Amino acid sequence: MNTLEFTLVVALGSFLAGMLGSLTGLGGGVVIVPLLTLVFGVDIRYAIGASLVSVIATSSGAAAAYLREGYSNMRVGMFLEIATTVGAVSGAFLAGYLHTSIIAIVFGLVLLYSAYTTTQTLADPLPGMAPDRIATILRLDGTYPTSEGLKSYHVRNVPTGFGLMYVAGVLSGLLGIGSGAVKVLAMDQAMKIPFKVSTTTSNFMIGVTAAASAGIYLRRGYIDPGLAMPVMLGVLAGALVGAKILPGAKVRTLRMVFGVVIAALAIEMIFQGVRGKL
């Protein structure tokens, strides 16, 4: 393919990935790396660099809409950012030393987990829990708007959440993804933060985490402008269109379809990684 064809095809693929990612809430980043490596034969290091950039674009691009709703908890986000940024630096460091086949296999396993989360419906934690000592010291408890007015919540299990966030950061830095699935796991399941608060706070965190590893990837020469350009523009445009058509979309069906696509890509990534082809 020449530059013109390659740019257009990659932009179109990234547009679809961005649109599906925003409609399903899974983010476009998870499918960019498999798309570029498996379909377009791009080296996984270039693919990860381009994906990281697109992750920042969707996170910052969506922030305006999320912030308007008033769900995100800045203290929870910033405190956990210490864990995710340190994790992202560790992950980006690891990426320079691990064989690309191992990165591909880890990527496949994380994709499988993301596919699994599409089958789960998250329930808000039960109200009336006692405050947690560490959360109180760190002033993490907050309120969020509901149809019955402001509702308060207590944050639990801070050390577990912090540890999981470090893992999310490592995966983000190693694989060039937002690790939204792991972040939501840490906040919903471990820290018992209401679903809407955790998803909006996670959106903010994804951009900061990705920025921490993007600097290292740039310095290492993994971010290629000719490749990152169509990926970033495509994903961003797709995410904006996705957010526009979201109210009328059949999200449940889409999540199922996207889950199956992700699972198929995951198995292919693992297969190619084991064969040493990536």
Partner 1 sequence: MIRGDSDAVAGGKVDDKSVELFLGRLLRWGVLLAALVVFVGGVWFVVESYDVPQNYRAFRGEPAELRAVPQIVHQAIAFQPLGLIQFGLLLLIATPVARVLFSVLGFAMERDWMYVVITLLVLGLLVYTLTSRSGI
Decide whether 78 or 260 has the Cβ nearer to partner 1.
Answer: 78
**How is residue 145 annotated by DSSP?**
E
Question: DSSP alpha helices (H): ranges in 25-43?
Answer: 29-34
CB of 256 to partner 1, least distance (A): 30
- Residues 90-109 binding partner 1 (CB under 8 A) are 92-93
Q: Which stretch binds partner 1 (CB under 8 A): 1-9, 20-28, 110-118, 263-271?
A: 1-9
Q: What mask of x and - would describe binding to partner 1 in positions 190 to 219, judged by CB under 8 A?
A: --------------x--xx-xxxxxxx-xx
| Cα-Cα-Cα-Cα dihedral sign, residues 226, 228, 229, 235 | positive
Q: Amino acid identity, residue 272?
A: Q
Residue 143, SS3?
strand
Considering the rule CB under 8 A, would residue 48 count as an interface residue with partner 1? no
Residue from 27, 230, 238, 259 in contact with partner 1 (CB under 8 A): 230
CA proximity to 45, closest of 167, 165, 173, 235: 173
How far is the C-alpha of 224 from the C-alpha of 218, rounded, in Å? 8
Query: What number of chain residues touch partner 1 (CB under 8 A)?
Result: 66
Applying CB under 8 A, does 59 fall inside the site for partner 1? Answer: yes
In whole angstroms, how far apart are CA 182 and each of 12, 80, 83, 253, 258?
28, 13, 13, 22, 18
We find the least distance from the C-beta atom of residue 186 to partner 1, in angstroms, to be: 17
| Residues recorded for the chain | 278
Start-to-end Cα distance in the chain: 20
The position carrying tokens 């449940």 is 252
Q: Which residues contact 59 (CB under 8 A, 6 or more apart)?
A: 178, 203, 204, 206, 207, 210
The interface region with partner 1, picked from 78-86, 105-113, 181-189, 256-264 by CB under 8 A, is: 78-86
The residue range among 13-21, 22-30, 50-58, 182-190 that interacts with partner 1, by the rule CB under 8 A, is: 50-58
Q: Smallest distance from the beta carbon of 228 to partner 1, in angstroms?
A: 6
Q: Which stretch binds partner 1 (CB under 8 A): 189-197, 224-232, 241-249, 257-265?
A: 224-232
Measured distance CA(53)–CA(223) in Å, rounded: 8
Q: Give residues in contact with partner 1 (CB under 8 A).
A: 1-4, 6-7, 36, 40-43, 45-46, 53, 56-57, 59-61, 63-68, 70, 72, 74-75, 78-79, 81-82, 85-86, 89, 92-93, 138-139, 204, 207-208, 210-216, 218-230, 232-233, 236
